[in-house]
Amino acid sequence: MRSLSSDAKATLYLEEQYVAERSGGGTFENLKLGPQYVLKVAAAKHETKKVNVTLPRSGAVYVSLTELPDLEVLSIAPESNDGFGWWATGKIRNNTDRTYSYVQVQIGLEDAQGNLAGSTMDNVNNLRPGQIWSFRALVTDDNVETWRIEDVTGF
């Protein structure tokens, strides 16, 4: 993950009142103990996130802002057997402001002992900015117990 650009801001609120702001992350200090604060993180071309923060005894909260990966894996799950095998499925989001002409997910398949039992993949063309791709890769090997995403690439 890369650090966020200078337009990324973390803003702290207490009971909907502005307390302080940090660009790119940093430490919020000298805060009142006890109350629960709301930390709002926002950056251009990124989703705004709000997180409840309870202060430690030090009265300071450190915030490190990092950017989402360009191609973010949102979910992964197996899909039941349809007679031909089962499917490794999931969702990948394009977090950039450009269209990927080609995106590929590579999936490693393991047996019950954790040995590599094979691999599978899926790909898609023209994944637009902010778009979510639902991948579905066929698994035909009977001895596969688990799987994991090995790599997500795109150009």
Q: Does the model's pTM come out above 0.75?
A: no
φ and ψ at residue 151, rounded to 5 degrees = -165, 145
Q: Which residue has the tokens 């490190």?
A: 64
Pairwise CA distance, residues 127 & 106, whole Å: 17
One pLDDT digit (tens) per residue for the chain, 155 residues: 444 445 667 777 777 778 888 876 677 777 776 667 777 766 654 555 566 666 666 667 666 666 678 898 988 888 877 677 789 999 999 988 899 999 999 999 999 998 999 999 999 999 999 899 999 999 988 888 888 899 999 99
Question: Is 116 in contact with 97 (CB distance < 8 Å)?
Answer: no
Domains and CATH numbers, the chain: 9-64 (no CATH), 71-154 (2.60.40.3230)
CA distance 144 to 155: 30
116, amino acid identity: L
